[in-house]
Copies of this chain bind each other. A is one copy, B any other.
């Protein structure tokens, strides 16, 4: 299996590097056979075509797209455009892109933002491997209020 990592120079932390480090540990632990391809672009709106290239030119089976969203209104608009377009690439290719975006507006300070970023990237790096190698493990966790970036939420009693 080939997994693509698309990230940006804009991000305030090495999200791609952290995703790769987390994956490599899990790959070794589980004995998976994975080749990782990395592609770095200037900003979040460059991620969709980067993912497309990872699918087409590097033959990736799934991609993790890592984006950092600035604190201004225009940054949120960019994130929305990137997000919609990443889903368009998924539909075009029929393959998953895990969309890992961290928004500056989620945190009150840099320390909290770093913590959210670390938790979200690490959990989604594992989710990507689970989606690729053990999709049935996701069905088992369906509806369990899984969160990336914070603790899981409580479940509803239905």
Using CB atoms and an 8 Å cutoff, list the residues of chain A in contact with chain B: 7-18, 38-42, 45-46, 48-49, 52-53, 56, 68, 74, 76-78, 80-85, 87-92, 94-99, 103, 105-106, 110-111, 113-114, 117-118, 124, 127, 131, 135, 138-139, 141-148, 153-158
Q: Find the B residue at minimum CB distance from A18.
A: B158
Q: A49-B95, A138-B41 are in contact. Are A9 and B124 (CB under 8 A)?
A: no
Contacts of A12 in B (CB 8 A): 143, 145, 153-156
In contact, A48 and B155 (Cβ under 8 angstroms): no
In contact, B14 and A157 (Cβ under 8 angstroms): no
Cβ-neighbour of A9 out of B74, B92, B95, B144 (below 8 A): B144
Bound form: Cα–Cα A40–B82 in Å: 23
In contact, B84 and A15 (Cβ under 8 angstroms): no
In contact, B11 and A143 (Cβ under 8 angstroms): yes
Interface centre among A38, A143, A147, by most B CB within 10 Å? A143
Contacts of A74 in B (CB 8 A): 76, 103, 105-106
Q: Find the B residue at minimum CB distance from A146.
A: B9
Q: A40-B138, A114-B156, A124-B42 are in contact. Are A145 and B11 (CB under 8 A)?
A: yes
